[in-house]
Amino acid sequence: MNRLRKKTLALLAIPLAGTLALSGCFSAAAEQAGSTGRISVAHMQPPRSGLSPLSDDAFKLSRWSTAETLVTLDESGDAQPALATSWERIDDLVWEFSIRKGVTFHNGQPLGAASVANSLQRAIDSTPVPRILNGTALDVEVLGEHGLRITTADPDPLLPQRLSSPQLAIFAPEAYTDSGVDPAGHGTGPFQITAVDGMSGATLDRYEDYWGDKAAAAGIDVKFVPDGTARTAALRTGEADIVEAIPAGQAASVDQELLTEVPMPRTNTLYLNTAKGPFADPAVRAAAREAIDRAAIIQSVYENRADRADGLLGPALPYAAGLRETEEYRQLLAQRAEPAQVQDVEITLGTFTDRAELPEVAVILQQQLEAAGFIVKQDVREYQYIEADALDGAFDAFILSRATVLDSGDPVAYFASDFTCEGGFAIAQLCDKDVEQAIDRAAQNDAGAKRQQQIMLAEARILGTDAAIPLLHERVIQGESPAVHDAAQDPRERELVTAQTRLGSE
């Protein structure tokens, strides 16, 4: 039966010898999997911070089902029980959580409110603080053996969603040392880490005393394979069971039955400098908007493995498309400026090389903008060398691949960061009273339908300024061998191998 297909991440090639060496590593793992039910996984990136859960490495721990949080998110971004079975908002600032009973860490110690509070406090006190806690002050208090009270400095209707961040996973007290956080043997998930081989890989075994349904697979054998060609080869030859991020340019070389394309909450967007230069004029911004042919970019650069962006939020947020059809949304969008006639208007266009598609997108955008009367000068560098200039407003236009829901599963923080006067990632330099008010209204609502409505009206307000022109929504192309069943296909990239994932011939 044909599978749905869906993302994209192209990476640099490595020499063939390196590819063959990696294939050899996977061959042994694949042979072992056939007899033991172990699942071999090829990951795109090696750990950046020694698998510290207080870094982005937390997402690997989450995808291996070795680390768990108090709360998880469903498809719509609503909070669901995990290590916390229930919660209640006592007043604007105070929440109380009930901690699940009968849970043990991988070292055999029981989970309780004290160990949960310890993990959360370690995250609060860490430097740098996990980004989900940026600008958020929390006070954690133990209430008996299985009760927890969390007090926020300001009203925070999304606190449960924040606690779903993999960077706030709960670990045994012994995991926390003077030299960092060691997740091996200290999580609560259905798989426990038994070995880590530096930047090469990791080994996980089924945790027999898991509080929920035991893992169907005996374990997970992980290899870190930064090269997209090597990852694709591992899938094509059957040497890896699950492969992360098949590059769009490599996808055609693989049996399409092995690919699953998952829409990501990530949008490629052209940010226009609203504070100075040609794009300080809304009519000139509108001219740039009208010049762009999204379909041409998607077809030529992404080989049709991306979704046209009709807004900042894409198909990874199921409610977005329907709420764009409301009369209020359409009326706000209709207030955009009429395009100016431009001729020989000089602009600088910046982007970065870390995402291999973006320089190609820049070339096509240059052609489209020049056809509309602009004269475009490109500036393309590695991200670490261009970010400061972009944030300082050094470019007239900047192409960015931007995560739209960050760690809470909610886009309000992204809107506030990118499109408010004091936003920390304000590449467009936008400071608009109506936009600020719309984002603030969305932020004040509890999770649910009303908040979603206000989120979409805030999107319309932002788009109405033409400060940001969304181009496309990325997909992640995940590879799975025919023997794999029930691997997660998660737009937020928090799940991959779950307790239900298994190998078999059914």
Distance of CA 14 to the CA centre of its chain: 26
How much is the average pLDDT of 341-360? 92
- If asked whether residues 305 and 236 sit together in one domain, one would say no
DSSP alpha helix (H) spans, 100-172: 113-125, 159-162
The whole domain housing 130 covers 71-177
Give the pLDDT of residue 504: 87
Burial code (b: 16+ CB inside 10 Å, e: under 16) for 342-374 equals beebebbbbbbeebbbbebbbbbbbebbeebeb
CATH code (residue 241):
3.40.190.10
Asked if residues 316 and 265 have their Cβ atoms less than 8 Å apart, the reply is: yes
Q: Is residue 10 part of a domain?
A: no
CATH code (residue 377):
3.10.105.10
- If asked whether residues 304 and 442 sit together in one domain, one would say yes
Give the pLDDT of residue 207: 97
Q: Is residue 439 part of a domain?
A: yes
Give the pLDDT of residue 32: 44
DSSP state of 68: B
Q: Which of 148, 177, 206 is the last residue of a domain?
A: 177
- If asked whether residues 312 and 324 sit together in one domain, one would say yes
Q: Please tell me the pTM assigned to this model.
A: 0.74
- If asked whether residues 318 and 435 sit together in one domain, one would say yes
- If asked whether residues 160 and 302 sit together in one domain, one would say no
- If asked whether residues 303 and 342 sit together in one domain, one would say yes
- Tell me: the pLDDT tens digits for 396-420? 999 999 989 867 778 988 898 899 9
Q: Is residue 62 part of a domain?
A: no
How much is the average pLDDT of 418-437? 93
- Tell me: the pLDDT tens digits for 449-493? 899 999 999 999 999 999 999 999 988 889 999 999 999 988 888
CATH code (residue 146):
3.90.76.10
- If asked whether residues 326 and 353 sit together in one domain, one would say yes
Q: Which of 135, 150, 177 is the last residue of a domain?
A: 177
Asked if residues 444 and 416 have their Cβ atoms less than 8 Å apart, the reply is: no
Strand partners, 84: 99
Judged on CB neighbours under 10 Å (0-12, 13-18, 19+), 107 is: middle
How much is the average pLDDT of 200-217? 95
Give the pLDDT of residue 49: 83
| pLDDT band at residue 506 using 50, 70 and 90 as cut-offs | low
- Tell me: the pLDDT tens digits for 258-298? 999 888 889 999 999 999 999 999 999 999 999 999 999 99
| pLDDT band at residue 332 using 50, 70 and 90 as cut-offs | very high
Q: How many domains does the chain have?
A: 3
- If asked whether residues 297 and 361 sit together in one domain, one would say yes
Q: Is residue 56 part of a domain?
A: no
- If asked whether residues 366 and 458 sit together in one domain, one would say yes
- If asked whether residues 317 and 377 sit together in one domain, one would say yes
- If asked whether residues 207 and 317 sit together in one domain, one would say no
Q: Which of 177, 199, 234 is the last residue of a domain?
A: 177
304's tokens: 């049709």
Q: Is residue 469 part of a domain?
A: yes
Q: Is residue 375 part of a domain?
A: yes
Q: Is residue 489 part of a domain?
A: yes
Q: Is residue 354 part of a domain?
A: yes
- If asked whether residues 353 and 244 sit together in one domain, one would say no
